[in-house]
């Protein structure tokens, strides 16, 4: 179900209508990347596509995603019972595990690699483990974000920094970061995976720094897009890229994730308008025409690039799934 921005913010023909132009490309494509000959389908929105999906297809998609989430959660839950943890960090790990395993976690970043594996006939088990690594890295970023923003709750639970001190919360996040690296060592192409993970982590930190300081000094659209690409696109780049780690289409897959992350960040800003600072939210920084142009351009590039690496079914399923949380609908 899409969200509708009030008339005080946008005209009725604003983002939702302009979004149709880019998203229509997506609905006019079949699973193997070929354009549907029906020109009317070319102009449908993602919301229209989701609403007209066959009930059986929707049910199968939901089951696939829940199965992937179950596998990821089963792996993640093992971290809190690892006998190799020193007793001195046990309390922190247990508290972190409660947040990590919250039922409110979408796991979108972790789900994508396994969906791609099923689409492209890659190794599903390996891609599930990629998802575990990505979810852990994402969780580390949330722990550190909570310290920076002084959040006291997340996913309906107390944050680590509200239960413990800021330094203890940061150290717990650091510890889990090393677990991410340790996990990467188990992959057949471990060095390349670690390289991609480290680069993503560096980009993510850079994006947060830009959001915290640079945007208040230079709030240009170009600066915002670079921030979004680094802060949010970096992890989605891993989601789309890791399944292609030995494939010649790795660069295209990484860029697909970057574009997906920027579009995701725009929706995130829409949902967080009430809480974000004026210098951190695109809806408080720019006029709707500018936002519409960005959204249209990036979604169009995303879907065309997704078609080129034959992951259209993954894009269809993950965007449909995220609509439950307010993303990829009418705004």
Average pLDDT, 10 consecutive residues per value, the chain (331 residues): 32 40 41 36 44 72 93 89 83 92 94 96 96 96 92 90 95 93 91 96 94 84 95 98 95 98 95 84 90 90 94 91 88 71
> Both 84 and 215 in a single domain?
no
> Both 131 and 264 in a single domain?
no
pLDDT at 212: 86
> Both 213 and 180 in a single domain?
no
pLDDT at 48: 54
Q: What is the CATH number of the domain that holds 119?
A: 1.10.600.10
Compute CA 187 distance to the chain's CA centroid, rounded to the nearest angstrom. Answer: 22
> Both 164 and 285 in a single domain?
no
Cα–Cα nearest to 31, from 319, 329, 317: 317
**Can you tell me the distance from the alpha carbon of 94 to that of 49, in angstroms, rounded to the nearest whole number?**
42
> Both 262 and 306 in a single domain?
yes
> Both 134 and 65 in a single domain?
yes
> Both 223 and 113 in a single domain?
no
> Both 181 and 200 in a single domain?
no
Q: Domain boundary at 136, 153, 187, which?
A: 187
> Both 175 and 194 in a single domain?
no
pTM: predicted TM-score of the whole model, two decimal places: 0.85
pLDDT at 4: 32
Query: Which sign does the torsion angle of CA 29, 34, 37, 39 carry?
Result: positive
> Both 181 and 197 in a single domain?
no
Cα–Cα nearest to 15, from 307, 318, 286: 286
> Both 239 and 330 in a single domain?
yes
Burial 259-294 (b: 16+ CB within 10 A, else e): bbbbbbbbbbbbeeeeebeebbbbbebbebeebbeb
Q: How many CB atoms lie within 10 A of CB 103?
A: 7
pLDDT at 55: 75
Structural domain harbouring 96: 54-187
Q: How many CA atoms lie within 13 A of 177 on its CB side?
A: 17
> Both 167 and 199 in a single domain?
no
Which CA distances in Å does 157 have to 72, 145, 160, 176?
21, 15, 9, 19
| Beta-sheet pairing, 153-154 with 157-158 | antiparallel
- Number of separate domains in the chain: 2
Q: Domain boundary at 187, 213, 231, which?
A: 187
Q: Domain boundary at 187, 211, 230, which?
A: 187
């Amino acid at each position: 179900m899409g969200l509708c921005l009030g008339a005080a913010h946008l005209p009725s023909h604003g983002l939702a209508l302009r979004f149709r132009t880019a998203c229509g490309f997506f609905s006019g494509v079949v699973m193997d990347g070929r354009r549907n000959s029906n020109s009317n389908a070319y102009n449908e929105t993602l919301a229209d596509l989701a609403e007209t999906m066959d009930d059986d297809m929707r049910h199968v998609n939901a089951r696939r995603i829940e199965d992937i989430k179950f596998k990821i959660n089963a792996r993640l839950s093992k971290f809190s019972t690892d006998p190799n943890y020193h007793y001195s960090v046990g309390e922190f790990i247990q508290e972190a595990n409660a947040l990590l395993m919250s039922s409110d976690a979408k796991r979108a970043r972790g789900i994508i690699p396994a969906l791609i594996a099923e689409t492209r006939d890659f190794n599903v088990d390996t891609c599930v483990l990629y998802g575990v690594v990505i979810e852990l890295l994402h969780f580390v970023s949330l722990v550190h974000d909570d310290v920076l923003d002084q959040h006291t709750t997340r996913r309906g639970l107390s944050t680590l920094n509200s239960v413990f001190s800021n330094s203890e919360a940061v150290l717990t996040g650091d510890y889990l970061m090393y677990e991410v690296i340790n996990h990467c060592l188990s992959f057949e192409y471990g060095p390349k995976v670690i390289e991609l993970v480290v680069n993503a982590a560096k980009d993510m930190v850079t994006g947060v720094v830009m959001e915290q300081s640079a945007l208040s000094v230079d709030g240009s659209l170009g600066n915002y897009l670079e921030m979004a690409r680094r802060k949010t696109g970096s992890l989605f780049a891993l989601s789309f890229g890791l399944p292609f780690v030995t494939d010649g289409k790795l660069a295209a897959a990484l860029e697909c994730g970057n574009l997906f992350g920027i579009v995701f960040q725009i929706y995130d800003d829409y949902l967080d308008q009430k809480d974000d600072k004026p210098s951190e939210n695109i809806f408080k920084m720019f006029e709707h025409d500018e936002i519409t142009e960005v959204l249209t351009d990036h979604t169009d590039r995303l879907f065309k690039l997704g078609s080129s690496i034959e992951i259209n079914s993954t894009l269809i399923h993950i965007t449909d799934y995220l609509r439950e949380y307010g993303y990829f609908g009418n705004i």
